[in-house]
Amino acid sequence: MKVYLLLGSNIEPRIEYINLTLQLIEESVGRIEKASQLYKTAAWGNENQEDFLNKAICVNTELVPQKLLSEIKLIEVKVGRQTRERWGKREIDIDILLIENLVVKTSQLEVPHPQLHLRNFALLPLKEIAPNIIHPTLIKTIDELAASCADIKAVEIFSPNKKTQ
């Protein structure tokens, strides 16, 4: 089963947190088939914090959705994520964006991610690796959703040689 995840970090060392997360995903979730470039994105929700680095990945997994969520939460803990306020700074955040064409709605998990179509920081990295995947409830491609997204927060390909504020 193909699962699309978004990784994000805005606490240094951001790149190291993301790289460790990729390694742990390969070990306990499944093989990473595709990965976007790193994107530097403005914080969303609580804007008074450092920019995030985000990366979308496609993982081939045998895990059912609830087990996938459990593994992701365990990986976040292993990487060092601390519990803080909602939309606050984080060592690592892993969002489940899509699980093939499944629609899941439980008290703990909602797939597709309910705010995917509203957030360029998720859409643009996902578009890089899966532009033609169809959102199962909105019945639009990721490319179409990105083109019509009203989010105007800064999203750019990360260049480690540029100052990252």
- Catalytic residue positions, numbered: 81, 90, 93, 95
87: left (phi over 0), alpha (psi -120 to 50) or beta: left
Q: What is the 3-state secondary structure (H, E, C) of 70-101?
A: HHHHHHHHHHCCCCCCCCCCCCCEEEEEEECC
Could you give the CA distance from residue 139 to residue 141 in angstroms, rounded to a whole number? 7
As a whole number of angstroms, the distance between CA 98 and CA 3 comes to 6
